[in-house]
Each structure stands twice: as C-alpha cells, then as structure tokens.
Amino acid sequence: MIILEDVVKNYGSDVPALNGINLHIQKGEFVFIVGKSGSGKSTLIKLLLKELDPTSGEIFVNKKNLNKVTRKKLPFLRRDIGVVFQDFRLLPDRNVYDNIAFAMKVVEAPNRKIKSRVLAMLSMVGLLDKYKSFPNELSGGEQQRVAIARALVNRPAILLCDEPTGNLDPANSNAIMKILEQANKQGTTVLVVTHNMDIVAQMKKRTITMSDGKVISDREKGGYFYED
C-alpha cells in the first residue's frame, strides 16, 4: 500500500530531512508516526502526497511509483488519498454539507450520489444536525469531524492525518480517534502523524518513531520509543 525504499530528501543543507527511509505499510493498517519537531514527519507526508519529490530512492503508493507519476496524472493519484490537517482547512463561505460535497464535485461525482454519500458521512461523524452550519459556528472538534468526513467522502484507500488532534482538548481528541478507527475498520489504511503520546498509548497501534530523518523504532501494538 505504502512503500519507501532508501528515500532521501535534501533541502539544500548538509543534513537531509529524510536520510535513507525504508518503510512498508500494508493495506488496512492503522499506523502512528511520532517524533520530535524536525524529525522528518512533515516531509514524509509531503512526499506521499507528491508535494515534494525525493532526492533519491523510490516511493510507491497504492502500487504506483510516485517517481513516475506526472503532474498531469497527479490529481488521479490523490483521489485515492484523503488528507486531514491540524487546522481543518474548511471553506469558510460554505456550510458543512457543501464543504463535504465539494470534495465529490471536484472528482465530478454524479449529483444523485452526492447527497446520499454526504449524509452518510455526516451520520458517521455525528453531525447530521449541523449540516447547514458554517465553520465559524462550529467548535474545533466539530470542524475536525467535518474535515474527516470530507477526507473520507470519496472512499479513499488511504487517509493521511497530520496532527489531527493538535488543536483539540482530550475529549475531542478521543472522539476524533474513534472516528479514524471506525474508518480503518471499514477498510481504509490510516496513517496519523502526532505529538499526542497519550493517544498513541491508548490506541495500541503500530507506531513508527522518527528522529533526525531516520526511523529509529517500528513497534506493534502501541509500543514506541520517544525522546524528550
């Protein structure tokens, strides 16, 4: 599903942002990526989205070699990847329903499918009663649930989450993780970058620790190595 082979990423400095990363994530896994700021986590996400290209090495996402994906074909690659960010990135001039529907309109989904799918996602994230609300009328936790619904509405094979609970309190963070776990149980491969070690410990999922651009630990069932 996701394979990195000897991946190096330099930004022009003497110290590479990623330094020889080898990583295999299987279809249907739920994986945490942890590590201090500057460890390479954000660079890894950008490489998986092909916002950046590796300096060397190969990356495969959903059996596609990203080194060979042209800019013209990039939108089709990203249809298989849902993304959730720390800052929600909702459209402020559109209500909850239209924010989620927008993701389906971008891929030219038939109108007859949009309503049923959007309502199904609103039900999944517990916001059916908020479908007419605008982002500024929602709490942070509610906004993130809308963002997750938008990311999942096109049934992506992979969901990438970059600090999805970074702006949330513990109760909302736990609610978000339950939604992500539900998506994973329905077949979506979930990759979560986080600093929230309490959630990592609670979830007991595979945890990859990065430091100085390298993977220093890859443990199953919630074990992790993390330097303060």
Kindly give the confidence (pLDDT) of every residue in the chain, 228 residues in length, as a single tens digit, with 9 standing for 90 and above.
Answer: 899 999 999 988 777 899 999 999 999 999 999 999 889 998 999 999 999 999 999 999 988 999 999 888 888 888 899 999 989 999 999 999 999 999 999 989 998 899 999 999 999 999 999 999 999 999 999 999 999 999 999 999 999 999 999 889 999 999 999 999 999 999 999 999 998 999 999 999 999 999 999 999 999 865 555 444
> Are 98 and 59 within one domain?
no
> Are 143 and 195 within one domain?
no
Structural contact between residues 12 and 65, judged by C-beta atoms closer than 8 angstroms: no
Task: Supply the pLDDT for residue 221.
Answer: 66
Task: Supply the pLDDT for residue 224.
Answer: 52
The 3-state DSSP class for residue 19 equals strand
pTM metric for this prediction: 0.91
> Are 7 and 76 within one domain?
yes
Q: Residue 15 maps to which CATH number?
A: 3.40.50.300
- DSSP state at residue 3: E
Task: Supply the pLDDT for residue 189.
Answer: 97
> Are 39 and 100 within one domain?
no
On whether residue 86 sits in a domain, the answer given is no
Specify the number of domains making up the chain. Answer: 2
Task: Supply the pLDDT for residue 228.
Answer: 42
Query: Structural domain of residue 95, as residue ranges?
Result: 91-155
> Are 4 and 70 within one domain?
yes
Place of tokens 């609670």: 202
Domain boundary residue among 136, 155, 174?
Answer: 155
Domain boundary residue among 127, 155, 183?
Answer: 155
Task: Supply the pLDDT for residue 209.
Answer: 96
CA–CA distance, 153 with 171 (Å, rounded to integer): 24
Joined tokens for residue 92: 């402020």
> Are 162 and 63 within one domain?
yes
Domain boundary residue among 155, 170, 202?
Answer: 155
Task: Supply the pLDDT for residue 1.
Answer: 87
Provide CB contacts within 8 A for 222, sequence distance 6+: 200, 201, 202, 203, 204, 205, 207
Look up residue 58 and give its amino acid.
E
* Chain centroid, CA 31 distance in Å: 10
Residue 94 phi, psi dihedral angles, 5° rounding: -125, 145
Task: Supply the pLDDT for residue 213.
Answer: 94
> Are 44 and 107 within one domain?
no
> Are 100 and 58 within one domain?
no
- DSSP state at residue 13: S
What is the average pLDDT value for the chain, to the nearest integer?
Answer: 92
> Are 3 and 75 within one domain?
yes
Q: How many CB atoms lie within 10 A of CB 15?
A: 10
On whether residue 85 sits in a domain, the answer given is no
> Are 4 and 52 within one domain?
yes
According to DSSP, the residues that pair with 17 across neighbouring strands are none
Q: Strand pairing of 56-61 and 214-219?
A: unpaired
> Are 96 and 132 within one domain?
yes
